[in-house]
Structure 1
Amino acid sequence: MPNPTIVALGTANPTTQFSQEELLSLASYTDERRRGFFLHSGIEKRHMYVEKATFRPTETTDELNARFRKGGVEIGRLAIQRALDQAGCSAQEIDFVVTTTCTGRLCPNLDAYFVREFAMKERVQRVHVGDMGCASGMIALQQAYNHLRAFPDHRALIVSVEICSSTYYLDDSLETAVANAIFADGAAAAILTSDGAGVEVLGHMSLVRSDYLDLMGFTYPSGRPRILLSKEIRGIGSAMMKELAAAILDRYHLKQEEIRFWVLHSAGRGVLERAQREIGLGDADLQFSRQVLRRFGNMSSATVLFVLNEVIRSGQASPGDLGVMIALGPGFCAEGALLRW
């Protein structure tokens, strides 16, 4: 049975772009430590679904959720259209849709909105991966992989949409300042088939450490989303990336030098630096992850798909090249896949 293949990948961001200096000014941090989270983050620009002229950090929870819904549908639709155009197929040819987000809640969820936006067929199958954080882009890919293994004649669409700006929170904690310094808005959509040319997904692997359950996720004081992001994550996350990468290599009887591309989630500057040391990678191995972090920040679940898109767009891959793709998420987990061009 052929392995599912990513035949198209589209990304999208809100048109409004901020420099780190602009966002620091909006957050109004004045102490050097919190200012340093913004200015030494490895991030130059971030996209946010807000209006620069009118935005004020005083939105109600209703306003935040309305902005999530409007922005999520808008940039998600754009990413999907770009993927469809690349694949040369229509939305009516899609058999299975997987959506994922952790930055807003809707019922019905995003999948229903996209089915309506694109007038997809009535018999399209759907699943939503919710509240699984930055790793859920990988989990969505895993769901599409599993579906196509069961139904190899189908076409699958995965859509990751994050409006992280709808989860901002202002308080005195350092972890909140870190979150405000790195997260941004973006969407990515990928189309998978069992018979197309593209990036073959050879298999998936998960690593879950529930001992670290309380270190990352969201809390909801007075119903308002607030990111929980412990400083311990940098060390734990990089160690889990190393462990998962080694397990993937072992399963497929590969040596590290056989991996051409390392598609690592751009979680933050510190996580990438530690992962580079832990795994034993060179600067070239992390160029695409750092490029996404620099240009877009951390867009939660969409980020690792942006990194893969940068690898594809670079034109550096040759047939037969292998890649390891890994993202981190709450729970605490590392989710990975082995790819082949």
Structure 2
Amino acid sequence: MAPTGEHHLLSTEIVNRGIEPSGPDAGSLTFSVRVRRRLPDFVRSVNLKYVRLGYHYLINYGLIYLAIVPVVFLLFGAEVRRFGREEVWRMVSDSTRGYDLVVVLALFVVLTFTLTFYFFSRSRSIYLVDFACFKPPDDLKVTKEEFIELARKSGKFEEASLQFQKKILESSGIGDETYVPKSIMSPDTISTMKEGRAEASMVIFGALDELFEKTRIRPKDIGILVVNCSVFNPTPSLSAMIINHYKMRGNILSFNLGGMGCSAGIIALDLARDMLQGNPNNMAVVVSTEMVAYNWYPGNDRSMLIPNCFFRMGCSAVLLSNRRRDYRRAKYGLEHIVRTHKGGADSSFRSVYQEEDAQKFKGLKISRDIMEIGGEAIKTNITTLSPLVLPFSEQFFFFSTLIRRYFTGCGTASASGKPSQMLPPEQEINQFTPSSSSSSGNKPYIPDYKLAFDHFCIHPASKTALNELQLNLGLTDENMEASRATLHRFGNTSSSSIWYELAYLEAKGRVKRGDRVWQLAFGSGLKCNSVVWKSIRTIERPAAGNPWLDCIDRYPSPQL
């Protein structure tokens, strides 16, 4: 049975448990009802506030100038065309015709001011010159079985905790070639500054060395550096560590973002974009990573063991530029960044929470409601992004259907701008009627996001999350291939995951000139962020410098 109400975040499964052997109900059939939490139905509970916010962004992206400049230009042209050379001379010499001359001059001033304001206020073009993803050495590669054995040898986990992690791994979508630090097998404490710095040096310098080699850029040419790592934040910072290692210039603008979760990579991009807007003729490097060993949880709290199963080693380094001469060699142009933060709600704020357990072991605690909480953030972000990227036809059908449902009273509470209320599980179950969904006469129009984007890079948090997002967004298996392949081959590398996905698409030779790429990431806070790129040229299959080159022919794998 499936839920059919507009806001149901639970699905149920009725299981026949057989015949009751004893008691007052002996001989009768017994059933149990399993309630499974899932993502919200995005298109059946749309909040108009975020639709309006999306159109507000659309206006800010320059449409108002595209409307004002032609109008002023046409008025000025129409006024000037009324006068020939002799007419203009008579106006200058005849004081009675001075009014027309004033009108023409006024229109000329307005046109000049409008054009000047437009050219000086418009955003600078931001180019993605190239990027690199760190591939750890093969001696750090582990299978799922080896992972459990390493955890067992460390002597830090009870057998029940080991079995729980094994069960999680079996359904996680993670393959047998992911990478973990050797230090996790140690019986000693590994959440030390020494271990953190050692891992950071390996992954960060590995990614940056690859980037500088691919782009032939000297470290001293970089004017802006943004580094994001959620859990490991030493003093001096990771950005200072990079500057020291590569002996970068003294006036570099450096930033270090911490505690911002798996979506911090796009936040770092947003910061780099803002800095490039204010610093012409410059280049920026964005480094995104997470330290697995420093984040390793050695206790037995099951809600804190989940990150151990999913997070793996990885790092990305991205080179951005606002220099016009870099256009010809750049791969992508930046179109949109949309950020959504749900931290104002206590449930969202504590959905991914770093704290100590009863034995004072530090770890990330994952809320049991993470699926629906994360789903609400994703839904909000997508609703805001849609007006910026969807074709007019899709926006028209979606918006007209939404308005019709709103005025006919068939819309949801969220469609009217009011928050939805979750019913208790027993009331949810009573609301389920198998035929009502298919018979609904006001089913909303589902926008086809495949018309807006050619490629999808969705954060591979887990196999379940990817399955739910595919269902809600109406995407094909090919659309989700890069995300599932990345989860299988590299695991969840936190904020750098979306770059391993883009590297997968390039290794397959699928990115053509003019293609639009959507990167979607979500993480603690709870935050959901989107970035849209447009390919400047067709990306040829790389011969080197891509982490997928040794295994790309094995994907898509039947195991995905």
Give the TM-score taking structure 1 as reference length: 0.92
- The equivalent position to 2:270 in structure 1, one of 118, 142, 146, is 142
Q: Secondary structure at the match of 2:293?
A: helix
Aligned residues of 1:238 and 1:278 also touching (Cα < 8 A) = no
Q: Which moved more, 1:236-245 or 1:124-133?
A: 236-245
1:24 partnered with 2:148:
yes
One-letter amino acid of the counterpart of residue 332, structure 2: V
Q: How far apart in 2 are the matches of 1:13 and 1:231?
A: 32
Deviations 1:199-232, CA, capped at 9 Å, x for gaps: 1111211111122101113114587530121232
Which residue does 1:263 correspond to in 2? Answer: 457
Which residue does 2:355 correspond to in 1? Answer: 219
Q: How far apart in 1 are the matches of 2:255 and 2:247?
A: 17
Deviations 1:316-340, CA, capped at 9 Å, x for gaps: 1111111221111111110111111
One-letter amino acid of the counterpart of residue 352, structure 2: M
- The equivalent position to 1:48 in structure 2, one of 156, 180, 183, is 180
Q: How far apart in 2 are the matches of 1:24 and 1:121?
A: 45
Q: 1:310 to 1:2 in 2, by over 3 A?
A: farther
Matches within 5 A, 1:168-179: 168-179=296-307
1:118 partnered with 2:227:
no
Q: Secondary structure at the match of 1:190?
A: strand
Which residue does 1:311 correspond to in 2? Answer: 505
One-letter amino acid of the counterpart of residue 199, structure 1: Y
Q: Which moved more, 1:40-49 or 1:233-242?
A: 233-242
Deviation of 1:273 after TM superposition, in Å, equals 1.1
Give the TM-score taking structure 2 as reference length: 0.57
- How many residue pairs are counted as aligned between the two chains? 337
- The equivalent position to 1:328 in structure 2, one of 522, 531, 536, is 522
Q: How far apart in 1 are the matches of 2:199 and 2:470?
A: 34
1:247 partnered with 2:378:
no
Which residue does 1:159 correspond to in 2? Answer: 287
Which residue does 2:334 correspond to in 1? Answer: 201
Kindly name which structure, 1 or 2, has the bigger radius of gyration based on alpha carbons: 2
Which residue does 1:275 correspond to in 2? Answer: 469
**Whose strand fraction is larger, Structure 1's or Structure 2's?**
1
Which residue does 1:74 correspond to in 2? Answer: 202
Which residue does 2:114 correspond to in 1? Answer: none
Aligned residues of 1:14 and 1:49 also touching (Cα < 8 A) = no
CA-atom RMSD, angstroms? 2.0
Q: How far apart in 2 are the matches of 1:5 and 1:312?
A: 17
Q: How far apart in 2 are the matches of 1:75 and 1:199?
A: 24
Q: Which moved more, 1:263-272 or 1:19-28?
A: 19-28
Q: 1:263 to 1:60 in 2, by over 3 A?
A: closer
Gaps of 5+ in 2: 1-122, 153-157, 395-448, 536-560
Runs of 4+ displaced beyond 6 Å: none
Gaps of 5+ in 1: none
Q: Secondary structure at the match of 1:283?
A: coil
Q: Which moved more, 1:99-108 or 1:42-51?
A: 42-51
Q: How far apart in 1 are the matches of 2:364 and 2:290?
A: 14
Identity %: 20
Q: 1:320 to 1:2 in 2, by over 3 A?
A: farther
Q: 1:223 to 1:171 in 2, by over 3 A?
A: closer
One-letter amino acid of the counterpart of residue 213, structure 1: F
Which residue does 1:287 correspond to in 2? Answer: 481
Q: Which moved more, 1:257-266 or 1:310-319?
A: 310-319
* Greater RCO (Cα-Cα under 8 Å, separation 6 or more): 1
Q: 1:240 to 1:279 in 2, by over 3 A?
A: farther
Q: How far apart in 1 are the matches of 2:360 and 2:222?
A: 36
Q: 1:314 to 1:242 in 2, by over 3 A?
A: farther
Deviations 1:236-269, CA, capped at 9 Å, x for gaps: 3244324322321213443522211111111111
Q: How far apart in 2 are the matches of 1:311 and 1:251?
A: 24
One-letter amino acid of the counterpart of residue 143, structure 1: L
Q: How far apart in 2 are the matches of 1:242 and 1:340?
A: 23
